[in-house]
Amino acid sequence: MPPAFKQWITHLQTARTERLLKYAANSEVISFAGGLPAEELFPAAEIEAAFQYVIREHAAEALQYTWSEGCEPLRERIVDWLHEHGLSAKPAQILVTHGAQQALDLLAKLYIHPGDAMVIESPTYVPAIQAFELQGPRFVSVTRTSTGLDMGQLEARLRFDSARLMYVIPCAHNPTGGTLDVAQRSDLLEVAQRFNLMLIEDAAYADIRYGAFHPPLAAIDSNLKHVVLVGSFSKVLSPGLRIGWIFAAEEVIRQLALIKQASDLQTGTLNQLVLARYLEEHSLRSHVKRCLSVYRSRRNAALSALAAKFPAASYWSVPAGGFSIWVGLPPSVSSEELLKAAVARGVAFEPGLPFFPEHKSQNYLRLSFSNLDEASIREGLTRLGGVVKESLSPTPQCPSNPRASAGTSR
Ligand SMILES: Cc1ncc(COP(=O)(O)O)c(C=O)c1O
């Protein structure tokens, strides 16, 4: 008999990715699902020029294997990014990964032993839950809202559960779009030091911010005893390049490089060198500035449309960063059910349930505005607002059946 699947694999969410691809392929549906950057903002000509340069001048190196830790020119450019964000770093503290997603997977493999308690924000980024879940931890969830993390709850949980690891998205949190302010960041680090906690800080959206810059947790914990920082070029440049990174103490990077070797040997040399060339030739900061003005307008268009088209019983976050708005509906509404009605009207979104590690609340949904123009955002939210209003209006009752009225809730 072939070996059985590991039990927790069967618990993983697959619907999300399927849904994302399905709606992306269906041009009839205005899709707020998936945190996709806007295609029209990709610097395609500059990337093409970088590819041509690398193949013309460095073909032998670019088409060959490289180090598991990553190519030196790219690690140096990542160090530059870290310096710009107030961190002092050297290339030996960097591991280049296949996107931030692989970084989370490698960190899960390094730090999680089956059955270990691990703190996780609730709600949080769904594929992070998946990456951690594969290593079999016991999740200890702490409430995160667009205004911050429930620090009282975190301390209470840490007193009770001996967790040594926590996953946190301080900046432009996915899905709420909230950002921890400086005081919350120092409080979090103080708690990490007191309870001997390692923080996996996810900065995938750190540069997609509509408000003030706050230094990463890794800048406060300058000797990197309690923080490993994960970053990505997906949201600011292109997810198709599949390049992310980990910044951590050298000893941690050495361990992670061994795990990466076992997993995929290395991230593609060609893509690494092309990205390094692009970053040498162009200012990523200027590119991000151009993108931000588009994303900010789209966020504002979505917020205005929500205010105009959604019923009073709904509420939503005003994202300080990122690509999405987190919408709450009355507890009687199931966003999975709502999605079926919405798709029939030509609009899609991400139901909120999978974002909760404990799968507790079904009445939330995530709307990503980044890859839609403003007219589509307005049209999509007009359609969706109508569907939400209908879901809240009382079900027509049959006078001959008195039990129908008792079961009706708004
Ligand atoms: C919070 C967060 N972390 C990590 C990732 C993974 O990004 P990448 O494309 O770099 O793998 C995403 C992608 O949506 C994300 O939202």
- CA 195 to ligand 1 center in whole angstroms: 28
Specify the pLDDT at position 318: 96
- CA 267 to ligand 1 center in whole angstroms: 16
Residue 111 reports pLDDT greater than 50: yes
- Asked whether 171 lines ligand 1 (CB < 6 A), one says no
Q: What is the mean pLDDT of residues 240-245?
A: 98
Specify the pLDDT at position 3: 78
- CA 125 to ligand 1 center in whole angstroms: 8
Structure confidence at residue 358 as a pLDDT band (50, 70, 90):
confident
Pairing of strands 138-145, 148-149: antiparallel
Specify the pLDDT at position 34: 84
Q: Quickly tell me which residue has 């806007």 as its tokens.
A: 38
- CA 203 to ligand 1 center in whole angstroms: 9
| Alpha helices per DSSP H over 217-320 | 217-220, 250-264, 269-281, 284-309
- Asked whether 324 lines ligand 1 (CB < 6 A), one says no
Q: What is the mean pLDDT of residues 340-365?
A: 93
Mean pLDDT estimate for the chain: 92
Q: What is the mean pLDDT of residues 156-172?
A: 95
Q: What is the mean pLDDT of residues 317-340?
A: 95
- Asked whether 201 lines ligand 1 (CB < 6 A), one says no
The alpha carbon dihedral of 259, 263, 264, 265 has a sign of positive
CB 305 within 8 A of CB 381: yes
Specify the pLDDT at position 114: 95
- Asked whether 100 lines ligand 1 (CB < 6 A), one says yes
Residue 109 reports pLDDT greater than 60: yes
Percent of the chain whose pLDDT exceeds 70? 91
Residue 331 reports pLDDT greater than 60: yes
Compute CA 112 distance to the chain's CA centroid, rounded to the nearest angstrom: 20
CB 198 within 8 A of CB 118: no
Pairing of strands 315-316, 244-247: unpaired
CB 54 within 8 A of CB 62: yes
Each residue's pLDDT tens digit, 165-218? 999 999 999 999 999 999 999 999 999 999 999 999 999 999 999 999 999 999
- Asked whether 175 lines ligand 1 (CB < 6 A), one says no
Specify the pLDDT at position 301: 98
- Asked whether 103 lines ligand 1 (CB < 6 A), one says no
State which ligand 1 atom lies nearest to the alpha carbon of 174: 1
Structure confidence at residue 409 as a pLDDT band (50, 70, 90):
very low
Backbone angles phi, psi at 355, to 5 degrees: -75, -15
Nearest residue (by CA) to ligand 1, atom 7, is: 100
- Asked whether 202 lines ligand 1 (CB < 6 A), one says yes
- Asked whether 169 lines ligand 1 (CB < 6 A), one says yes
Specify the pLDDT at position 35: 86
Residue 239 reports pLDDT greater than 50: yes
- Asked whether 125 lines ligand 1 (CB < 6 A), one says yes
The alpha carbon dihedral of 200, 206, 212, 215 has a sign of positive
State which ligand 1 atom lies nearest to the alpha carbon of 243: 10
One-letter amino acid identity for 38?
A
Half-sphere exposure of 352 (CA within 13 A, CB side): 25
Give dist(CA 383, CA 368) in Å, integer: 15
349 to each of 24, 137, 148, 247, how far by Cα in Å? 11, 29, 24, 33
The closest alpha carbon to 144, from 117, 115, 166, belongs to 166
Pocket residue to mutate for ligand 1, from 98, 174, 323, 324, most atoms within 8 A of Cβ: 174
On the question of a cis peptide bond just before residue 239, with omega within 30 degrees of 0, the verdict is no
- Asked whether 99 lines ligand 1 (CB < 6 A), one says yes
Residue 254: CB atoms within 10 A of its CB come to 13
